[in-house]
Structure 1
Amino acid sequence: SFEDITERTGLGILDDTTSALFLDLRNSGRQDAVVLRGSGPLLFLNDGQGKFTLVESAFRFQTLPQGSFTGMAAADYDRDGRLDLYLCCYVYFQSEDQYRYPIPYHDARNGPPNFLFRNRLTADGGFFEEVTEAAGMNQNNDRFSFAPAWCDFDGDGWPDLYVANDFGRNNLYRNRAGKFRDEAAQAGVEDIGPGMSASWVDYDGDGRADLYVSNMWTAPGQRIVKDPAFPPAKELQEEYRRHTKGNSLYRNRGDGTFEETGPSEGVEMGRWAWSSDAFDFDNDGSPEIYVTCGMLSQPRSKQDLRSYFWRQVVAKSPVEMKPAPEYENGWNAINQLIREDYSWCSGDANVFYVRPKPVAGTPARYYDFSGVSGLDFSDDSRSFAAVDFDGDGNLDIVLKSRQGPQVRALRNECGAGKRVIVLKLRGVQSNRDAIGARVEVNGRVQWVTAGSGYLSQHTKDLHFGLGDAEHARVRVVWPSGTRQELADLKPGFRHEIREGSSDVVSHALASRVRMESKPVRAENDPQFADTWFLEPVPLPDRRKGPGFLLLYSDAQPVVPPELPIETMKPAPYYDVLRKFLFEYRAELPLPLLLLIDGQSRMHKVYRGLPAAAVLRSDLAALGSAEQARLALPFAGRYVKEPHRSYFKLGAAFYLAGYPEQALPYLEEVVRRDASNSKAWEAIARIELDAGQVRAASEHFQRVLALKADSSGAWTGSGEAYAKLGNTAEAEKAFHRAIELNTRDSDAWNGLGLVYASTNRTAEAKSAFQHAIEAHHDHAGALNNLAVLYVKLGQPNDALAAFEYGIGQAPDDRTLYMNLGRLYVSLNRREQARGVMQRWLERNPSDAGARNALQELDSR
């Protein structure tokens, strides 16, 4: 059985982490740990007594990270005997103020850079030095990267690096004496697609390192990209097909190039794949491939978004790097929907491929054994580790999934009864873990690795199935270049081989014992419960505190009279708060009780009304040191305190039509980070719409000081200048916005209004037309063009413009009202009456329009 020793090791951190590696980074005989958080790596040194100590500022960056860290892998790239690290970065959707949309979808080059770190640790200090630029790895270092995989694929003694990238092409950095060059295109392994992970394996037994890359296989995607109506350019059809065709297998030709063999080997179908890797689980001498699959399965799912993604996101992508509002809106929409009750590629089962000995006269190939393997879980699996946890020589699996049970220990039954040999290598001139060593046993080859697949680290022991062989001949090429050969090693043992030494320490493998299977019952339907917040959350309005706020919908609940509890039926904007308070956006049920302080900030939320004693205790704990403990009622610590994304809440209120309620959250954003230009721009826009023009103008200028290429801020600044009567500055601002984005319809419309106000009617007409060309349903530009025609004495053109506008923007009231007024001015009251009736058919509750119609009827 396993024992949880997390807390006493010092590794019990609560920060969001993506992966970890255990390595002997100082060649000390002790396994240190590198823990990769989304915000950066942490180094923990092992004192040899089971305790790990965090080393502050152990990683010295030359350039600041621009994304979230994902995968990492280790190798001695410069062959100095110390293990170095490569870290991948990605940009996940956090909120609309942070997201960087991959543009274009099929081959995005606007991702964050990855990092190569050289190990400069010593016995009593040292650090990791970033050498990305110096080593040549900034070439094509602009992707959305998930997973690195090291291997000396060309056999020249220098470890090369493959990087699996989402939204485009992968990298193959070929190492020439410590300097790298991306040769993926020349080698034939760019594998344009949604790269999730990569692993090196000699699948065909020719002694060369082949490459398996996990991508995405989706039936809707394959169907949609073949549709003649699929919007992206026809010349990119193959690129888009590869984004949905599945996994890729490349056979190493031995001349620096690869042949794609996935279709002939039958290993492309991998559903929405994440981690993939290959091991000889059944000990027959040939490696099997395991692929973890699935994106997001919701227990109360309304529907699955796998088709929506291709129709409303991928299909809206531009074919080059340029602004694309429809594409960005599609990403925003799908990232909101998955935080509610929508699934995305739900129920995708893990895949297991086996390459059995071929029947005489037929070629060898892989077959899908998923259904009989016992590994085809549909848990939204992410990664796995191959490790012999019972010591019997058969590689077992520890599987990590998004859904529960989130960790499964899977004992190997297919390798039992077959001969196997296990090799543990110890470097002397090489790094002590022998990472990068090439080991051949009876003609089959494996490599010692640290970091492979997606967010995974497998055992550093090498397991070789021997079939019927009674002895093993072992050849080792160490990372230092030393070659070593050992003969007549017996199966059934774990042999420890020391670099340069003929002495082998052998230990018999453990006898196989019976283990009882005890599946864990999973609970995958999250339930809302009373919750203390790590940090206080502003309310959307002012309330009296400290005390409690009770929101209810039907009968008013009875509350303890001695406690300060305000009760109310909440305003509609509280529905936004109830939905967006937590990441999983299930609307919190009423009645709902909130513990608030004197600054109208929530500290705890309750489901229903607890006992008065509980409330008294919580009120007493408000603002005390005890509150922090209550917010984290379990072991662990944060290295860096987390912070809520208040931009999400602010955006939610704004988009729901409550700009005033959005302000407390946006102001909290800029209070913490005064450089957040998107939050300042949102504040300025709210102020401008509320008539606070000078404040808005000042804040738009602040945005431009932070981000001079923000076309939206230039447009807003122009609108503010225009309202302040400074038409000259307004004109300059609109022109600058258009220079940055020629399809900024608001800027064209604002410029048209400036021209119209200064009697430059020809320029005004042209500007309004540009706005309409950019967005055919821009109601403001449509109305302004028609009004301009009225001003020019061209009533027929004005009538046509208004009618065209109503056709493009049928829910805009101003177009109907102005068209009606024009008909009245032309003494065509019957047509005016018809316009009002058309509007009232769409909006029967519009009292102003109904009064106008009655007035027309009375004349």
Structure 2
Amino acid sequence: MSQSPVEPASNNQASSYRQGWAALNQMLHEGKSFSGHERNCAFLNLGGHSFADVSGLVGLNFDEDGRTVVSTDWDFDGDLDLWTTARTAPRLRFLKNNSSEEKKNFLSVRLVGNGVESNRDAVGAIVELYLENVKPPLIRTVTAGDAFISQNSQWLTFHFSPEQKIRNLTVYWPAGQKQVVDELITKSFYKIHQGKAAEMWIPPIRRIDMKSGLSKPSASSEHSRTVLIGRLPMVPIQTKGEYSESELPKQSLKGPLLLNVWAPWCKPCVKELSLWTQSEEILRSAGLRILALNADTSAIDSAQRLLRRLRFPFQSAHALQRTVRSLDWFQRSFLDHWAPLPIPSSFLIDRQGDVAVIYKGPVSPEQVLKDMKLLDMSMSERREAAIPFAGKWLKPPRLPNPLLVNGQFVAHDAISEGITYLRRYLESSEDRGGKSSDHLSKIAHTIGTLLSKSDNPSLAKSYLVKALHFTPDQIDLRIELANLLLSYPSLNHIEEAIAVLKPDPKVQVTDPASRRLLSWAFFLWGESFQSSHQYQKAEQAFRQSIQLHPSQLKAAEKLAWLFVTQNPEQDQRKSNALAIAERLCAITQHKNGDYLDLLAFIQASHGQFEQAIRSMEEAQVLRADAPDSKAFKEGKNWMDHFKKHLIPDLRFESD
């Protein structure tokens, strides 16, 4: 089982964890069993010595992915029945306990707290049932949510042999009060209110007669009709011609058009093509075009012979394997159950080039003609037509989400194809209009993010800028764009990043993440100025970096070096440099060799050579495991240099 991280993980560990969840979600969508159809188990406690496997004996050894078990006396006959749920079908089962009446003896109680000292449900109460000549007592506890996404009945049921009699019952209420109840009758139900006498309770008469039966899984079918309430454009259709491969023009995929995926070896496909051929006149008069896509490019010759034999009157083409694959991923994005695209399958496309209906398996001309009425309906009208019953809706229809289509491409490592689909969707949406700025921003943002990971920073930048144009107040988007600009820093890119994070120089940036990134941008800006010998501008940039994020220690280090190397004759600058260096070493607890080097150099500039030598010695200790390193050798040279400036000890003696 995948373990949730309990501490910061490396990128590889986090990636592995995310991949585990992705694999789990894929199993969910594909309807697979988590347990490999391992049967459920039930064990009988043999008096504290061991357990016996009674799974098959009691009828609990089902092979579904079990989730919850709830025990309750559903029919109020004194024994506990079970309700079970599963992730796979059948989702719900009722298991009636048919124990022999002659061998049954029980007492069932329901506690009610007073709502002052104890909660009304008496959660936490402990009940002890004492039987005559029997030790120890039978014990039950009132719980809330005592199992995985389930809770047993709050009736506490005690079972004992028919010859045994009840002595009394003791309740320990959650607040600590003890209540003893006497004169209880077996095979009865009692309600016990806190501090009051027990009241016998008469169960209601069940009016529902549940009939037992074997669960039979429904037969799977590859025939389905899915009306898309929110429509999306068809994926690119790439075909194989006699001499080359090509993509069908977008204009040719605008409907009314029925795009059919078939193969010459598929008998239902041949029958379907024959029906359409026979219905040519009525289909054409309705304005419907048909494009028959052969999905098997290894059988092009036989496909062409078959179409000639049928005298198929509509357009045909031979789809590349990646086109068939894209059509499969496209249809999966609309459904929670990801089943492979069967052959034949068809897609009814509207006048905008958007898919309106997906047919899995053969579809009759009559059904297609009937569904053509959906093409010009609004989303609300389509939603009403898509369901088999009338009703009221709480929310407006959900907008189509092309990111789900892209998600299928990304999940199958076809990222470039996903990017192409989103770019075309965004382009057509801008041309058509009618989409919200937030929606278009998400699309452009996703394209930019994917492009930035595929080593196309220039194009990625253009889409992130476009996303920011749609939603200029989105802070996360500004941060991502700035990060992209800073990932290949030049002076122009750094200035752009600063402008992205701080669009109005007069307005203070308050978002913590933006301030940290802006601080880093100013640090990089300062380094650029420093490398071009623009020391005053560099100093200003480092100061701004520290003001935005006081923990930006690298900027403080750079600023201290500027203080001590530029205009060092000014005492205040030297004093500021020393204060910064001492602060850096204190923050890092004298464990950073670079900061100790800085402190030693500044101390030497103040004439404090003994202190400088001690600071350098601390730095050298940190580098002792790498005596051949450049830093270690330079540190030794500086120590020798500092020692030359020491005034030798002079000893004075009297004559």
Tell me: CA distance 1:450–1:338, structure 2 relative to 1, closer, same or farther (3 Å).
closer
CA contact (8 A) 2:442 2:467 kept: no
Residue 241 (structure 2) pairs with residue 547 (structure 1): no
Q: Which amino acid aligns with 2:382?
A: Q
> How do 1:441-840 residues align onto structure 2 when only pairs under 5 Å count?
441-442=129-130, 443-467=137-161, 468-471=163-166, 473-479=168-174, 481-507=176-202, 517-523=212-218, 525=220, 527-540=222-235, 542=250, 547-554=256-263, 558=277, 560-568=283-291, 569=293, 570=319, 572-573=322-323, 575-579=325-329, 580-581=332-333, 582-608=335-361, 610-622=363-375, 623-624=377-378, 625-634=380-389, 639=394, 646-653=402-409, 655-656=413-414, 657-658=416-417, 659-663=419-423, 671-672=438-439, 674=441, 679=446, 681-682=448-449, 685=452, 689=456, 692=459, 695-696=462-463, 698-699=465-466, 706=474, 716-717=484-485, 726=492
Tell me: CA distance 1:398–1:455, structure 2 relative to 1, closer, same or farther (3 Å).
same
Tell me the distance in 1 between the aligned counterparts of 2:5 and 2:492. Answer: 41
CA contact (8 A) 1:354 1:367 kept: yes
Tell me the distance in 2 between the aligned counterparts of 1:390 and 1:521. Answer: 25
Counterpart selection for 1:438 from 116, 121, 126: 126
Tell me: CA distance 1:649–1:672, structure 2 relative to 1, closer, same or farther (3 Å).
same
CA contact (8 A) 1:353 1:367 kept: yes
CA contact (8 A) 1:473 1:485 kept: yes
Q: Which amino acid aligns with 2:106?
A: V
Q: Which amino acid aligns with 2:485?
A: S
Tell me: CA distance 1:515–1:683, structure 2 relative to 1, closer, same or farther (3 Å).
closer
Shift of residue 375 of structure 1?
0.9
Shift of residue 608 of structure 1?
4.4
Secondary structure in 2 matching 1:463: strand
Tell me: CA distance 1:449–1:676, structure 2 relative to 1, closer, same or farther (3 Å).
farther
Shift of residue 329 of structure 1?
4.0
CA contact (8 A) 2:422 2:443 kept: no
Q: Greater shift after overlay, 484-493 or 407-416?
A: 407-416
CA contact (8 A) 1:694 1:720 kept: no
Q: Which amino acid aligns with 1:486?
A: V
Shift of residue 597 of structure 1?
3.3
CA contact (8 A) 2:69 2:82 kept: yes
Tell me the distance in 1 between the aligned counterparts of 2:458 and 2:24. Answer: 34
Q: Deviations over 1:343-389 (max 9, x none)?
A: 543122222222222xxxxx634443323231121101111221222
Secondary structure in 1 matching 2:373: helix
Tell me the distance in 2 between the aligned counterparts of 1:507 and 1:551. Answer: 65
CA contact (8 A) 2:346 2:359 kept: yes
User: Counting strand residues as a fraction of each chain, which structure ranks higher?
Assistant: 1
CA contact (8 A) 1:423 1:463 kept: yes
Q: Which amino acid aligns with 1:441?
A: L
CA contact (8 A) 1:474 1:486 kept: yes
Q: Deviations over 1:102-153 (max 9, x none)?
A: 9xx645248xxxxxxxxxxxxxxxxxxxxxxxxxxxxxxxxxxxxxxxxxxx
> How do 1:373-452 residues align onto structure 2 when only pairs under 5 Å count?
373-414=58-99, 417-429=103-115, 430-442=118-130, 443-452=137-146
Q: Which amino acid aligns with 1:607?
A: K
Shift of residue 730 of structure 1?
9.1
Tell me the distance in 2 between the aligned counterparts of 1:457 and 1:635. Answer: 34
Q: Which amino acid aligns with 1:717?
A: L
Tell me the distance in 2 between the aligned counterparts of 1:448 and 1:630. Answer: 49
Could you state the TM-score of these two structures normalised by the residue count of structure 1? 0.42
Counterpart for residue 97 of structure 1: none
Secondary structure in 2 matching 1:372: helix
Q: Deviations over 1:643-700 (max 9, x none)?
A: 7664331133353241312335688898448568962543654998497466235158
Shift of residue 434 of structure 1?
3.5
CA contact (8 A) 2:485 2:493 kept: no
CA contact (8 A) 1:383 1:456 kept: yes
Tell me the distance in 2 between the aligned counterparts of 1:389 and 1:538. Answer: 52
Tell me the distance in 2 between the aligned counterparts of 1:327 and 1:460. Answer: 39
CA contact (8 A) 1:684 1:700 kept: no
Tell me the distance in 2 between the aligned counterparts of 1:373 and 1:669. Answer: 58
User: Counting helix residues as a fraction of each chain, which structure ranks higher?
Assistant: 2
CA contact (8 A) 2:448 2:460 kept: no
CA contact (8 A) 2:447 2:463 kept: no
Counterpart for residue 108 of structure 1: 5
Secondary structure in 1 matching 2:327: helix
Secondary structure in 1 matching 2:231: strand
Counterpart for residue 268 of structure 1: none
CA contact (8 A) 1:697 1:720 kept: no
CA contact (8 A) 1:535 1:643 kept: yes
Tell me the distance in 2 between the aligned counterparts of 1:334 and 1:514. Answer: 39
Counterpart for residue 126 of structure 1: none
Q: Flag structure 1 segments of 5+ consecutive residues without an equivalent.
A: 1-101, 111-317, 358-362, 734-739, 741-750, 760-859
Counterpart for residue 37 of structure 2: 347
Tell me: CA distance 1:682–1:321, structure 2 relative to 1, closer, same or farther (3 Å).
closer
Tell me: CA distance 1:397–1:333, structure 2 relative to 1, closer, same or farther (3 Å).
closer
Shift of residue 574 of structure 1?
5.1
Shift of residue 525 of structure 1?
4.0
CA contact (8 A) 2:402 2:422 kept: no
How many percent of aligned residue pairs carry the same amino acid? Answer: 22
Shift of residue 412 of structure 1?
1.5
Count of residue correspondences: 424
Tell me the distance in 2 between the aligned counterparts of 1:669 and 1:382. Answer: 41
* Two-structure CA RMSD over aligned residues (Å): 4.8
CA contact (8 A) 2:127 2:140 kept: yes
Shift of residue 715 of structure 1?
6.1
Tell me the distance in 1 between the aligned counterparts of 2:492 and 2:140. Answer: 73
Secondary structure in 2 matching 1:561: helix
Tell me the distance in 2 between the aligned counterparts of 1:319 and 1:474. Answer: 54
Shift of residue 464 of structure 1?
1.0
Q: Which amino acid aligns with 2:60?
A: L
CA contact (8 A) 2:403 2:443 kept: no
Shift of residue 420 of structure 1?
1.0
**Greater Cα radius of gyration, structure 1 or 2:** 2
Secondary structure in 1 matching 2:232: strand
Secondary structure in 2 matching 1:536: coil
Larger RCO (CA under 8 A, 6+ residues apart): 1
Secondary structure in 2 matching 1:441: strand
Shift of residue 551 of structure 1?
2.4
Shift of residue 396 of structure 1?
0.5
Q: Deviations over 1:572-621 (max 9, x none)?
A: 34522323333333321233222333333323212345344433332224
Tell me the distance in 2 between the aligned counterparts of 1:354 and 1:382. Answer: 20
Shift of residue 409 of structure 1?
1.1
Tell me: CA distance 1:673–1:660, structure 2 relative to 1, closer, same or farther (3 Å).
closer
CA contact (8 A) 2:485 2:494 kept: no
Q: Which amino acid aligns with 1:108?
A: P
CA contact (8 A) 2:448 2:459 kept: no
